[in-house]
Structure 1
Amino acid sequence: MAGEMSILGSAILALFLAGYLGQQYLPPPKPRVIGLDLGTTFCSVGVFHPGVGDVEVIGDEEGRKSIPSVVSFTPTQVLAGNEAQELADSSPQNTIYDAKRFIGKVFEPEDLEQESARYPFKVVYNNGSAEFLVSTNHTFTVSPEFIGSRLLLKMKKMAESHLGVPVQKAVISVPAEFDERQRNYTIRAANLVGLDILRVINEPTAAAMAYGLHKADVSNVLVVDLGGGTLDVSLLNKQGGMFLTRAMAGNNKLGGQDFSQRLLQHALERVRQQFGVLPIQKEDIHSLRQAVEAAKLNLTLQSSVLLQVPLHLEVGGLGDPPKPVLFQETITREMFEELNADLFQKILAPVRTVLEEGQLEKSEVDEVVLVGGSTRIPRIRQIIASFFGKDPNTSVDPDLAVVTGVAIQAGIMGGAWPLQVSALEIPNRHLRKTNFN
């Protein structure tokens, strides 16, 4: 018996030694499963590298770690990401965004009409579902899951180009409030481009994993997810290695786009004051919109930025040919905060609601984590820190928190070494999200 135990022990030791030597001297295997964050405004794809245990968020051909969730149709092409975004001003009726708001959702005709009124493209009702009407060299409709599939195909190709191997399996994230139908339609979008979805994970749980909270000694985690178009606040309770979503609230009409729009309106008014007319050329409005968006991003790091935008304005009067002018305006962080003061304060309403519904005092929240690029805005971080009396956890890039967590889960599903602790979710089918509009 002692001899058999000795042989067994030697065999186990040999296996560990072989694994160690393999890790040290052999190239690590390619990731077998990718992690996908199909966001409302931006999308990202990441992988967990076996052997080294690092998460890598894969960039596009320009090295950008996320792509706009935009798909545009031309007579000859279907474009996705940044190429599609470039057509948003010149071909607004055929450039679809925010499709995630519609995927798998059941509408009444009047509700869909109200929801779609703010978009420049046409949304039509089809037996309870939303579809998008596209007119290029002919007119046709496409489903929200088809739009999602084009974005997922773009990210699949990004991953395959970077890794040098075909990709067929993935883990994907969805909002915690997505019902079974919305989750299934998200999976359907992935299936359309040949992806087998091994697991669907809630976005707040993915974010908590990115922050390492599935391995930390915490009980109550509040996730503030403020992206380009939506605010989602989730209260998670960790029980062992499992996360229970105790409460959800949000505002599906509040995000970075709204902050940019306030700044754009200010810039347009300043153009009118300086030159007496407003820009009417699509190219000028597009340039001004891009400059404003860049200014908003730079104001997270700088106290002021200078807008410099060449425009073509009819400054001589109606009927005169447009003349080239240079619009210049200094934008300060203080000015940006004043323009958006009321919107920033709206962030606290869903925070208070999830605490009330979760029956928690704010002092009982162990960690406040930030997700979404708009949480970079210093004033927003100040408002959250002041409310809780402590700074939120900012150790992870908020733009990439969800995709990082999904990539970790993808590594787990792929059996990657070194092994990770998986975060399990306790389903709460009776939970409903409170929305503030």
Structure 2
Amino acid sequence: MAGAMAILGSSILALLLAGYLAQQYLPPPKPKVIGVDLGTTYCSVGVFQPGSGKVEVIADKAGRKSLPSVVLFTDQGILVGYEAQELADANPLNTVYDAKRFIGKHFTQEELSTESSRYQFKILYNKGSAEFSIFANESLRVSPEYIGSLLLLELKRMAEQYLGAPVSKAVISVPAEFDERQRNHTVKAAQLAGLDILRVINEPTAAAMAYGLHKVDVFNVLVVDLGGGTLDVSLLNKQGGMFLTRAMAGNNQLGGQDFNQRLLQFLFKRIHQRYGAVPIQKQDVHHLRQAVEAAKLNLTLFDSVQIRVPLSLPDSSEGEGGDRASTVLFEETVTRDLFEGLNRDLFEKILDPVEEVLSRGHLSRYEVDEIVLVGGSTRIPRIRQVIHEFFGKEPNTSVDPDLAVVIGVAIQAGIMGGSWPLQVSALEIPNRHLRKVNFN
């Protein structure tokens, strides 16, 4: 008996030693599970690297780590991401974006009519669900999950090209307020793209994992997620490796696009004051929108930026219906102070859902242990300042806010795939009675 136990002990020791040597000297295996962030405005894909324990957010051929959540249907085929975004202004009726707002969501006809008024593409009512009407070669009706599947398929291709191997398993993130139907339809979108979803994780929990909060001793975590089109604020309670979403609030009509629109309107007024006319050609408007987006990004780093855009303007002496046009080079200096002034009221609105989640969570601002920023719009200095002034301490900005969710999802994907070195897994406590409060 003693001899058998000795042999068993030696065998176990040999296995452990072999595992250790394999980790030290053999090349690490390729990741088996990808992490996907299917965002409203942008989406991303990442992998947890066995051995190094680092997350790699996969870039496209141009080095961009986020893909616009835009799909364009043309007579020649379907374009996804940046290609679709570039041609969106030229073909707005067949360009679908913000599909995540509709996926799996139940609408009344009145609700859908109100929501569809915000978009140029046509949205149809189908027994409580939304469908998009497209005409490219033929008339089509496509579902939000089909649009999602096209985006996920592109992310899957990017991952396969990076890994040099087929990919079939994934972890995906969803907003914390998504109900079971919305979660199931998100999974259906992934299945249409050929992905088997091993776990659905809430976006605030994923962000907390990206910041490493699943491995440190914190209790009250506030996640402020401000992207291109929506603001979501979540209060998480964390004990050990478990997260409970305690309260949620937000504004589904506040984001980077709204800040851009304020600056765009200002530039239109400037153009009209200077030249007596405004741009009417779609290409000129598109170039102005691009310049505004670039200016917003550069103003996070610099106090002022210079906008230069060639425009073809109608001859003001002929009125708007005239055929004659002249080309001008529009130049305007935009300062950070000007940008902040144009958006002052919008920036202050960010505190409304923050105060709501604290009230519903029965928590004072001083009891928040960690403030986590997610979404590209949280790069704006004034927004960070507003949050800092409210809480009396700096928010955590140690992770790229554009990529925080996908990094957290990729960590969870690595855990699900058994990658080493193993991380502390995050578990979410379901709270099916929780409802998000929306401010407009």
Task: Report the TM range for the smaller structure's normalisation.
Answer: over 0.9
Question: Is the contact between residue 378 and residue 384 of structure 2 (CA under 8 Å) also seen in structure 1?
Answer: yes
Structure 1 residue 6 displacement after superposition: 4.8
Aligned to 1:326: 329
Q: Distance in 2 between matches of 1:91 and 1:274?
A: 30
Q: Distance in 1 between matches of 2:348 and 2:153?
A: 38
User: Superposition pairs for residues 41-52 of structure 1, below 5 Å?
Assistant: 41-52=41-52
Structure 1 residue 315 displacement after superposition: 3.4
User: Superposition pairs for residues 337-352 of structure 1, below 5 Å?
Assistant: 337-352=340-355
Aligned-partner residue type, residue 363 of structure 1? Y
TM-score (norm: length of structure 1): 0.98
- Taking structure 1 as reference, are residues 362 and 3 closer, same or farther at Cα in structure 2, changes over 3 Å only? farther
Aligned-partner residue type, residue 324 of structure 1? T
User: Superposition pairs for residues 236-251 of structure 1, below 5 Å?
Assistant: 236-251=236-251
Say yes or no: does 1:388 pair with 2:391. Answer: yes
- Taking structure 1 as reference, are residues 316 and 231 closer, same or farther at Cα in structure 2, changes over 3 Å only? closer
Structure 1 residue 21 displacement after superposition: 2.6
Q: Distance in 1 between matches of 2:229 and 2:391?
A: 24
Structure 1 residue 316 displacement after superposition: 5.7
Question: Is the contact between residue 277 and residue 316 of structure 2 (CA under 8 Å) also seen in structure 1?
Answer: no
Structure 1 residue 433 displacement after superposition: 0.3
TM-score (norm: length of structure 2): 0.97
Aligned-partner residue type, residue 428 of structure 1? N
Aligned to 1:96: 96
Aligned-partner residue type, residue 389 of structure 1? G
Aligned to 1:218: 218
Say yes or no: does 1:335 pair with 2:333. Answer: no
- Taking structure 1 as reference, are residues 20 and 329 closer, same or farther at Cα in structure 2, changes over 3 Å only? same
User: Superposition pairs for residues 199-348 of structure 1, below 5 Å?
Assistant: 199-315=199-315, 317-318=317-318, 319-348=322-351
Aligned-partner residue type, residue 243 of structure 1? F
Which deviations, in whole Å up to 9, do the C-alpha atoms of 1:278-328 show, x marking residues without a partner? 001111000000010000000001110000001111236333432221000
Q: Distance in 1 between matches of 2:310 and 2:387?
A: 38
Q: What count of residue pairs does the alignment treat as equivalent?
A: 437
Q: Distance in 2 between matches of 1:241 and 1:28?
A: 27
User: Superposition pairs for residues 20-419 of structure 1, below 5 Å?
Assistant: 20-315=20-315, 317-318=317-318, 319-419=322-422
Q: Distance in 1 between matches of 2:221 and 2:316?
A: 59
User: Superposition pairs for residues 418-433 of structure 1, below 5 Å?
Assistant: 418-433=421-436
Q: Structure 1: any 5+ residue segments left out of the alignment? A: none
Which deviations, in whole Å up to 9, do the C-alpha atoms of 1:237-259 show, x marking residues without a partner? 01221100000000000000000
Q: Distance in 1 between matches of 2:388 and 2:58?
A: 32
Q: Distance in 1 between matches of 2:381 and 2:95?
A: 32
Structure 1 residue 224 displacement after superposition: 0.2
Q: Secondary structure at the match of 2:76?
A: coil
Q: Distance in 1 between matches of 2:16 and 2:263?
A: 59
- Greater Cα shift, 390-399 or 314-323: 314-323
Aligned-partner residue type, residue 378 of structure 1? P
Q: Secondary structure at the match of 1:317?
A: helix
Q: Distance in 2 between matches of 1:8 and 1:394?
A: 50
Percent sequence identity over matched residues? Answer: 74
Structure 1 residue 12 displacement after superposition: 3.7
Which deviations, in whole Å up to 9, do the C-alpha atoms of 1:336-372 show, x marking residues without a partner? 0000000000000000000000001111110000000
Q: Secondary structure at the match of 1:398?
A: coil
Question: Is the contact between residue 148 and residue 189 of structure 2 (CA under 8 Å) also seen in structure 1?
Answer: yes
Q: Distance in 2 between matches of 1:328 and 1:160?
A: 44
Q: Distance in 2 between matches of 1:54 and 1:163?
A: 15
Structure 1 residue 9 displacement after superposition: 4.4
Tell me which stretches of 4 or more aligned residues in structure 1 moved more than 4 Å: 1-9
- Greater Cα shift, 99-108 or 129-138: 129-138
